[in-house]
Amino acid sequence: MINQRYKLDFFKQKAIAPLVMFRIIFGAMLLFSSVRFIAKGWVNTQYIEPQFYFGYLGFEWIKPLPGNLMYIPFVLMVLAALFILLGFMYRYSAFVFFICFTYVELIDKSNYLNHYYFLSLMSFLMVLVPANRDFSIDAKLFPKIRREVTYAWHTGILKFQLAVVYIFAGIAKINSDWLFEAQPLKIWLQAHHNVPFVGSLLQEEWTAYFFSWMGCVYDLFIVFFLLNKKTRPIAYLAVIFFHVITWLLFPIGVFPWVMIFSTTIFFGTKFHQQLLNGLKSLFKWSKKIPEKVKNMPSPKPYVRYGLIIYIAFQILVPLRFLAYPGNLYWNEEGFRFSWRVMLMHKEGNATFYVTDKSTGRTIEVDNTDFLTVRQEDQMATQPDMILQFAKMLKEEYDGKTFSNHKQSITLHDPAVHAEVFVTLNGRSSQLFIDKKHDLTTLPYNLKHREWIVPFEK
């Protein structure tokens, strides 16, 4: 039904106020999170200190800038976010933000977070929409760009993106661990048993079930309640309550705030209009309205096709896991870019062995020689990263000479094996990767990885 409505009304003229308000709110959020990222010292720990980066398949050519030059994209992001907020050189600023942010995210898989992907997509969409056509520096400098209306798809596509996040997050929760074992929430909630007064409540079993089911229902249906004018106020209260709780309980940084503020896009025109008018009078924005303020150019057909392609892409990508056999959480094939948020508690221990083929002698690798703690932690449970690391180890060790006081051996074309144990959602650890495979001989692609030991139960 929603789809139909969007399809029919892509180019309907609507008030621009919600879009302008969203630009301001979103710009402020981007500004805050970019400054926060730098202030936390994460540029250094995630993009300067590591010796090795887990690139994305097909994007391995994307490398960090050398040393402190890596701060450049982050400083650009801060400036671009500020300019988005102010509506100054808006399209360029949105584009610069999108490019810098996406570049940074593509450097290393071990930093992948669903909410980073969300920000990347949203900043891309912001490049496409004319959110600077009112109450912006651009509109001040070039009054003829000012409009009171805009196409329906300009806000519709943003709502669609949010709907995708919530609904797919909800669908992902429909699985037996989440609903019938209350895992991983059982593990995560009991860890708070020392919180005064409510601690004992948090380690009750029924609390974990209650949170699991409520979380699932919330994710699946919140968008529909936000879309409906009547239920919107109570739905937004639920949004605030839900995300504040997750922020209090889990180390999920700014994500709850991103969602709380982004969902204001669902509010009615009247609300945004009043807010915008308030801001306008606060900043003494000229009331004088240029003539062509209600003229929209005639719709271009390629926009419709572009939107349909984007929408289809957003719906199909999270479903690509259906093309793979086996347990999704175990194999993690088609796992990323699918809004599987806070869905599993997976820990692993990966031991790599580099073997000299001619003598059969072996080195046990100390992963921390090559990886940061965060990278090792991520790698140990994700097969594609295990494979990437093995191939990196081969390069690292090939041609190296090892010796003691008695003899000396030089490695040529070594084999790399790994023994990996993984625990998923509170189960005992199981063998994940068997030592029998020489990982350097295995292909790194999107095909099903038969070398993963199948999930037992």
Partner 1 sequence: MLKKSIGLVLILSAGLLFSCKDKKDKDDDVADFNKAEMLENVSANIILPALNKFDVEVTAMKSSYATFKADQNVANLEEVKAHWKSAYMTWQTLKIFDFGPIRTIGFKSATGTYPIDTAKIHSNIDNGGYNLSAVVNLDAVGLNALDYLLYNDNAMNQLQNDADYANYAEEVIQKLYDETQSVVSGWSSYESTFNASTGTSSTSAFSEFVNEFNRDYELAKTAKVGIPIGKANLGLANPEYVEARYSGISFELLDESIKALKATYNGNSFDSNAEGIGFSNYLVHLEKSSLDNTINDKFGIIQNHIDGFSMTLEEAINDPSKTDQLDDLYLHLQQQVVNIKTDMTAAFGVLITYQDNDGD
Hey, CA dihedral for 248, 250, 256, 258, is it positive or negative? positive
Angstrom distance (rounded) from CA 124 to CA 193: 42
Residue 253 within binding range of partner 1, rule CB under 8 A: yes
- How near is the Cβ of 299 to partner 1 at its closest, in Å? 38
Q: Half-sphere exposure of residue 308, counting CA atoms within 13 Å on the CB side? A: 10
Element (H, E) at 201: helix 199-202
- How near is the Cβ of 363 to partner 1 at its closest, in Å? 6
Beta-strand runs (E) in 357-400: 362-364
Instruction: Identify the CA nearest to 121 among candidates 105, 107, 110.
Output: 105
b/e code 244-263 from CB counts within 10 Å (16+ = b) = eebbebbebebbbbbbbbbb
- How near is the Cβ of 357 to partner 1 at its closest, in Å? 12
Identity of the residue, 161 or 378, whose beta carbon is nearer to partner 1 in the bound complex: 378
Site for partner 1 in 203-222 (CB under 8 A): 204, 206
Residue 198 within binding range of partner 1, rule CB under 8 A: yes
Helices 255-262 + 232-249 axis angle, to 10: 170
Count the neighbouring beta carbons within 10 Å of the beta carbon of residue 268: 13
Residue 249 within binding range of partner 1, rule CB under 8 A: yes
Q: What is the DSSP letter of 452?
A: B
Site for partner 1 in 25-44 (CB under 8 A): 40, 42
Identity of the residue, 150 or 378, whose beta carbon is nearer to partner 1 in the bound complex: 378
Residue 171 within binding range of partner 1, rule CB under 8 A: no
**Candidate ranges 12-20, 122-130, 221-229, 252-260; the one touching partner 1 (CB under 8 A):** 252-260
Among 12, 91, 140, 192, binds partner 1 (CB under 8 A): 192
Q: Which two tokens stand for residue 45?
A: 């720990």
Q: How many amino acids of this chain bind partner 1 (CB under 8 A)?
A: 68
DSSP states of 202-219 as a string? HTSHHHHHHHHHHHHHHH
Q: Half-sphere exposure of residue 230, counting CA atoms within 13 Å on the CB side? A: 0
End-to-end CA distance of the chain: 39
Residue 4 within binding range of partner 1, rule CB under 8 A: no
Site for partner 1 in 45-104 (CB under 8 A): 45
Gyration radius (Cα) of the chain, Å: 25
**Candidate ranges 83-91, 197-205, 217-225, 443-451; the one touching partner 1 (CB under 8 A):** 197-205
- How near is the Cβ of 142 to partner 1 at its closest, in Å? 37
**Candidate ranges 73-81, 239-247, 266-274, 279-287; the one touching partner 1 (CB under 8 A):** 239-247
Residues 6+ apart with CB under 8 A from 412: 356, 357, 358, 398, 399
Identity of the residue, 87 or 348, whose beta carbon is nearer to partner 1 in the bound complex: 348
Residue 436 within binding range of partner 1, rule CB under 8 A: no
- How near is the Cβ of 392 to partner 1 at its closest, in Å? 17
Angstrom distance (rounded) from CA 170 to CA 85: 31
Residue 188 within binding range of partner 1, rule CB under 8 A: yes
- How near is the Cβ of 404 to partner 1 at its closest, in Å? 4
Binding mask 257-296 for partner 1 (x = CB under 8 A): ----------------------------------------
Angstrom distance (rounded) from CA 430 to CA 452: 11
Angstrom distance (rounded) from CA 312 to CA 300: 19
430 phi and psi, to 5 degrees? -130, 155
Contact (CB, 8 A) for 183 and 345? yes
- Residue count of the chain: 457
- How near is the Cβ of 80 to partner 1 at its closest, in Å? 19
Count the neighbouring beta carbons within 10 Å of the beta carbon of residue 175: 19
Site for partner 1 in 391-430 (CB under 8 A): 402-404, 406-407, 409, 411, 421-423, 426, 428-429
- How near is the Cβ of 274 to partner 1 at its closest, in Å? 29
Identity of the residue, 66 or 360, whose beta carbon is nearer to partner 1 in the bound complex: 360
Q: Half-sphere exposure of residue 261, counting CA atoms within 13 Å on the CB side? A: 18
- How near is the Cβ of 181 to partner 1 at its closest, in Å? 13
Site for partner 1 in 322-381 (CB under 8 A): 341-342, 345-349, 351, 356, 359, 361-366, 373-374, 377
**Candidate ranges 125-133, 183-191, 383-391, 434-442; the one touching partner 1 (CB under 8 A):** 183-191
Q: Which residues bind partner 1 (CB under 8 A)?
A: 40, 42, 45, 113-116, 184, 187-188, 190-198, 200-202, 204, 206, 241, 244-245, 247-255, 341-342, 345-349, 351, 356, 359, 361-366, 373-374, 377, 402-404, 406-407, 409, 411, 421-423, 426, 428-429
